[in-house]
């Protein structure tokens, strides 16, 4: 994803609980040095733990919970390019290409547009509300 924002503006959005809350999920907590994101009134909770020190070049999270997310990694690689930053996102190490994997991949597409908007100062808010998603609010 190409953005006009500098990597330094993107870094806190992909490396902190407060950053995730601005574009990913409303329900974010920080227990025991990890970050937890709650979805659908906390029926689903993903606990993420930073791997190494986040930088304006690379930030990586290990998912510690979730039937299909546990053991997967969220990787954000940022490169200065074309007057802004090229962000390459990978949700790595899925065990199998299940229907849930396809659903998550589709959601990540929308999430990348929200990350871009937030980094460029065009706030759209988090995609996931406490009880559902912004999409459900639009079409509901």
One digit per residue, pLDDT tens: the chain, 140 residues?
999 999 999 999 999 999 999 999 999 999 999 999 999 999 999 999 999 999 999 999 999 999 899 999 999 999 999 899 999 999 999 999 888 888 888 899 999 999 999 999 998 899 998 887 765 544 34
State the Cα–Cα distance between residues 32 and 92, nearest whole angstrom.
24
SS3 93: coil
State the Cα–Cα distance between residues 129 and 25, nearest whole angstrom.
6
Q: Phi and psi at residue 51, in whole multiples of 5°?
A: -110, 110
Q: Phi and psi at residue 93, in whole multiples of 5°?
A: 70, 35
What residue spans define the domains of the chain? 2-139
Fold assignment, 2-139: Alpha-D-Glucose-1,6-Bisphosphate; Chain A, domain 4 (3.30.530)
């Amino acid at each position: 994803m190409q953005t006009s924002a500098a990597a330094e503006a993107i870094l806190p959005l992909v490396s902190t609980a407060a950053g995730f809350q601005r574009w990913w999920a409303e329900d974010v907590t920080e227990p025991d040095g990890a970050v937890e994101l709650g979805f659908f009134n906390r029926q689903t909770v993903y606990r993420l733990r930073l791997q190494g020190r986040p930088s304006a070049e690379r930030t990586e999270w290990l998912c510690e919970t979730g039937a299909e997310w546990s053991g997967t990694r969220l990787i954000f690689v940022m490169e200065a390019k074309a007057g802004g930053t090229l962000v390459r996102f990978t949700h790595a190490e899925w065990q199998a290409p299940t229907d849930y994997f396809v659903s998550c991949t589709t959601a990540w597409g929308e999430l990348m547009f929200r990350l871009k908007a937030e980094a460029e100062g065009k706030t759209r808010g988090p995609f996931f509300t406490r009880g559902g998603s912004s999409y459900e609010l639009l079409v509901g």
